[in-house]
Chain A
Amino acid sequence: GDSVTQMEGPVTLSEEAFLTINCTYTATGYPSLFWYVQYPGEGLQLLLKATKADDKGSNKGFEATYRKETTSFHLEKGSVQVSDSAVYFCALSESNFGNEKLTFGTGTRLTIIP
């Protein structure tokens, strides 16, 4: 079945540091890939997505490129801020008629210190 393997956390960085959170996936077809962010006490918010190979999703300074050859979708940001502290989830969805459910990774807790 489908699965998502995500870099284990927690990750602690200083403000303005470069961020990479690794994500690889296993899927039988051609999934769409997502990064979601969860701030303390809140639900998930879509951060970015890519629906086909070589697509780059970007939002709020975060980027991730859909790499089919390495089955990866690593999240990057050039300069993190304290406000980026949250839990980040990589996810995939394979279109299955009438049931496009999401499969999530285990999440990576990111803490940015001033």
Chain B
Amino acid sequence: GAVVSQHPSRVICKSGTSVKIECRSLDFQATTMFWYRQFPKQSLMLMATSNEGSKATYEQGVEKDKFLINHASLTLSTLTVTSAHPEDSSFYICSAREGGTLYGYTFGSGTRLTVV
């Protein structure tokens, strides 16, 4: 089946630094990728939707300049948390949808970001 690899699984960074999270579709072409943020004991909140080769569409309340999303190829999307602060600590999950399919979402295993 479809596999999405998300890396790193855990990262600890200092406040003020930037962190990049990668999301790769291993055996299919992902025309659309989604980035979610999950707070403890809460649901997933969609942050942004990215289509290959175009700018990401951010959800209301998500800072575009803080959460930079790049979807430069059909198999790779990156989320960069810029100038991270402790309140950015969270579990980030990507999801990819194969081109030509409806509702064929495959999720990555998530990245636990801790900002100290």
Partners in one complex: yes
Which of A43, A44, A99, A109 has most chain B Cβ within 10 Å?
A: A43
Q: In the complex the two chains form, is A101's CB within 8 Å of B49's CB?
A: yes
Q: Is A51 an interface residue (CB 8 A)?
A: yes
* Residues of chain A with a CB closer than 8 A to B17's CB: none
Give A107's nearest chain B residue, CB to CB: B43
> What is the distance, in angstroms, from B69's C-beta to the closest C-beta of chain A?
14
Q: In the complex the two chains form, is A44's CB within 8 Å of B57's CB?
A: no
> What is the distance, in angstroms, from B2's C-beta to the closest C-beta of chain A?
10
> What is the distance, in angstroms, from B115's C-beta to the closest C-beta of chain A?
19
Q: In the complex the two chains form, is B107's CB within 8 Å of A89's CB?
A: no
A55 to B91, CA, bound (A): 33
Q: In the complex the two chains form, is B57's CB within 8 Å of A43's CB?
A: no
A46 to B89, CA, bound (A): 26
Q: Which of A72-95 contact B (CB under 8 A)?
A: 89, 93, 95
Q: Is A66 an interface residue (CB 8 A)?
A: no
Q: In the complex the two chains form, is A95's CB within 8 Å of B105's CB?
A: no
Q: Which of B87-110 contact A (CB under 8 A)?
A: 93, 95, 97, 102-103, 105, 107-110
Q: In the complex the two chains form, is B110's CB within 8 Å of A49's CB?
A: no
Q: In the complex the two chains form, is A93's CB within 8 Å of B103's CB?
A: yes
Our pick among B43, B57, B110 for the contact of A89 (Cβ within 8 Å) is B43
Q: In the complex the two chains form, is B46's CB within 8 Å of A101's CB?
A: yes
Q: Which of A2-51 contact B (CB under 8 A)?
A: 32, 34, 36, 41-46, 49, 51
Q: In the complex the two chains form, is A99's CB within 8 Å of B57's CB?
A: yes
Q: In the complex the two chains form, is A104's CB within 8 Å of B107's CB?
A: no
Question: If the complex has contacts A42-B109, A102-B46, A106-B43, are A32 and B103 also in contact, measured as CB distance less than 8 A?
Answer: yes
Our pick among B32, B93, B97, B103 for the contact of A43 (Cβ within 8 Å) is B93
Our pick among A51, A95, A105 for the contact of B43 (Cβ within 8 Å) is A105
Give B97's nearest chain A residue, CB to CB: A100
Question: Which 9 A/B pairs are nearest by Cβ-Cβ distance?
Answer: A43-B107, A43-B109, A44-B107, A106-B43, A104-B43, A43-B110, A104-B44, A43-B108, A42-B109
Residue numbers of B with Cβ under 8 A of A are 4, 6, 9, 32, 34, 41-44, 46, 49, 51, 57, 93, 95, 97, 102-103, 105, 107-110
